[in-house]
Structure 1
């Protein structure tokens, strides 16, 4: 950790001196096992692991301090403990934002939005109308490799995985092997990271009567074994938008700083120290896929997931049928995916009164889709005044700035939580003849 934050100490040597003093000062006279710094680190890790509140941790510190000899140097509250560790913490960026632009780089000094002319601030000067928290991913990846145990686990997909052609992990998929073959320089380094991006809106106030929506973006590292890659310790919060409304189609504006770092990690990489092998190497990373519900799928892919053509894979090849009584579109084209000699294709009465002789809809490749959307121009912002198309692609999404994105087989994965709920609602409601409210009639 000291190696990782050495650049801070170059600007402020007194901080390094204080940290070194704490790392050598015994917890109390005669204590040989713990120093002031090591004891605070151990206790703070326990606080984070058990989810203790600041108030609870303060009471715990007071109790421990009272039980130790009177000459102990343990901090007596959470504030003092965090102050000791603050020089070793990872940084974050608070970026002023609205739905049109981010106030960063060349726009950092602007006082109002050049697109919609909205003020950057609330009524009180200096208080931003909306803030995006960005937690830079590169320093966090460096911290992963500074821990020898974590650095070893990040090569599990290459050294520890059972290779018997059975699908147990994303490393067993054709897409993983295709990336290694398509980009050999990236694939030959077993420490190159494959990441998944998951995003959704949450209500932080736990109130169904409130529509406040805070959006978080979390990165998952697929180099790890299945038992670890979805653990909280290895799930990295990278973006946090404070609401109050959903990001919707303007989600690309908020993704810009993350995409910039991902693009740099792909193009040039960064020098990282591997504590397991005691060497420095060039770390590269790529976004393997995204994970989201179906409505967010439309925002990330740039395709309209409503109406008669809501499927980005099939596009115009699948057309819905409107049912006036239920007030929704249905899609009864499932027989098109059966083998040509399947008996269900010829049945009429059991289905819609017609035989199904059509084949599967044609699926466009990533390169073909990119050619369709690369020239789409859109102005972001809720008050832009332009109407988006009701069907098809409405934008060239921010993720397509990544050079490899068009070559991936599966770019977006759907989380099953909402799908399972909606399917069960529909099936159980049909079997038991239960009337569903309008907001529940979706499947």
Structure 2
């Protein structure tokens, strides 16, 4: 419709395409194809294109020219790791235009059906040279690799990453000649990976560390062996929000309470008042725990969330995630989980649960709210670490069963350490990449060639963006 409108506004003999199909045919004549290989070609031309535009070239030295150095943590450039790199590689740090990159990888279902096991994996690059408001914007996120489904690569992901790694090695050891349009000069651009961003299972694939079993924590390792539950006999990895919400609402498959969890208490000879009771007809009765909600309390909890209204883009429409018939939350994305933990859950439970249980959960939510602040005072990190280790987890252990405390509940203990070394959490989370993957899912118009649809659409976007910058 836009093409038709523009064509009508121009003189009658204009050659503007009158449809998207005709526009695509015009672009195909420009000889700008993409090549399908086992891994995408390198990203060097896109880095060069950044510097070819004066406005972007100026932004890429924000970390040197405009960063506020007042001791607070706002950006990875404020972190000790950034200063450590400067001290260890002074030649790299001397050129302020050299890039420090973050690599993220994750799988997503292109067909949007939870019953479909199709999994496509994306590998994206972002640069931390940009200011915090631009680092994670769609324009500055590069899709470096698209690993075809239907199966996830698993531990073989290193095979697919080979070409990306080779490019990074070349950028680090040799660099490339780039023209800086802002300073009107050529220089040798080098780059290095500053960090990787992924969920916990993908962390295991990338690092080669086994994130299951007794030593599932990659930081504590043998120092945190955990306790084997003889009855449950399993290791599971939902996120913290799923564990809390699933247990409170007693959602099948997500709750950490049940007969096996109560039998674990019996096996450990603790909390006798909560042990499962088998009656004469073979049914099992689970005595109510401190976190057990009555049906009317579940209704109140779900209704409070269903009435929530948030600005567009802040999270999913929470009302659509609440099922009042089954009293469950369905379809939660990781961003929605963090919004719930940081903002909404303390409000939803304010009038239910015993006081001590409610305060323990609110303390956990307050911890996540604090570590996701955009500005963090390093002096407060020790207090935050003591809060999560000494108070929050110990209080939760008083009320929730041992099966609640899997490795995902343990990992928040180390989040403060990550902030202390690498900077704010909000610059290293998966939300922005998941939003980008949702955009990719919208590109799929042919179910037989989903990855091809994404490649075609990205090709046209690159052409149009580059042409727009040129004009």
Structure 1 residue matching 2:36: 3-state secondary structure? strand
Structure 2 residue matching 1:322: 3-state secondary structure? coil
Partner of 1:206: 112
Structure 1 residue matching 2:105: 3-state secondary structure? strand
**Matches of 2:221 and 2:92, distance apart in 1:** 32
Partner of 1:143: 49
Residue deviations 1:199-246 (CA, integer Å, cap 9, x gap): 100000011110000000110110000000100000010000111111
Structure 1 residue matching 2:204: 3-state secondary structure? helix
Q: For residues 45-64 of structure 1, what are the structure 2 equivalents within 5 Å?
A: 59-64=1-6
Confirm or deny that 1:181 pairs with 2:87.
Answer: yes
Partner of 2:171: 265
Residue deviations 1:79-134 (CA, integer Å, cap 9, x gap): 443454558787644224xxxxxxxxxxxxxxxxxxxxxxxxxxxxxxxxxxx4x1
**Matches of 1:83 and 1:434, distance apart in 2:** 62
**Matches of 1:207 and 1:286, distance apart in 2:** 37
Q: For residues 212-251 of structure 1, what are the structure 2 equivalents within 5 Å?
A: 212-251=118-157
Confirm or deny that 1:94 pairs with 2:94.
Answer: no
Cα offset for 1:68?
A: 2.3
**Matches of 2:187 and 2:194, distance apart in 1:** 21
Cα offset for 1:67?
A: 2.9
Cα offset for 1:416?
A: 7.0
Tell me, yes or no, if the aligned pair for 1:321 and 1:329 is still in contact at 8 Å.
no
Partner of 1:78: 20
Partner of 2:213: 307
For normalisation by structure 2, the TM-score amounts to 0.51
Tell me, yes or no, if the aligned pair for 1:322 and 1:329 is still in contact at 8 Å.
no
Partner of 2:70: 164
- RCO (CA 8 Å, sep 6+): is it higher in 1 or 2? 2
Partner of 1:293: 199
Q: For residues 353-392 of structure 1, what are the structure 2 equivalents within 5 Å?
A: none
Structure 1 residue matching 2:37: 3-state secondary structure? strand
**Matches of 1:422 and 1:293, distance apart in 2:** 18
Partner of 1:256: 162
Structure 2 residue matching 1:94: 3-state secondary structure? coil
What are structure 1's unaligned runs of at least 5 residues?
Answer: 1-58, 97-131, 331-351, 354-414
**Matches of 1:164 and 1:78, distance apart in 2:** 51
Cα offset for 1:163?
A: 0.9
For normalisation by structure 1, the TM-score amounts to 0.54
Tell me, yes or no, if the aligned pair for 2:212 and 2:235 is still in contact at 8 Å.
no
**Matches of 1:164 and 1:61, distance apart in 2:** 51
**Matches of 1:234 and 1:150, distance apart in 2:** 10
**Matches of 1:180 and 1:205, distance apart in 2:** 44
Cα offset for 1:71?
A: 1.9
Greater alpha carbon shift after TM alignment, 65-74 vs 151-160? 65-74
Cα offset for 1:441?
A: 11
**Matches of 2:195 and 2:174, distance apart in 1:** 21
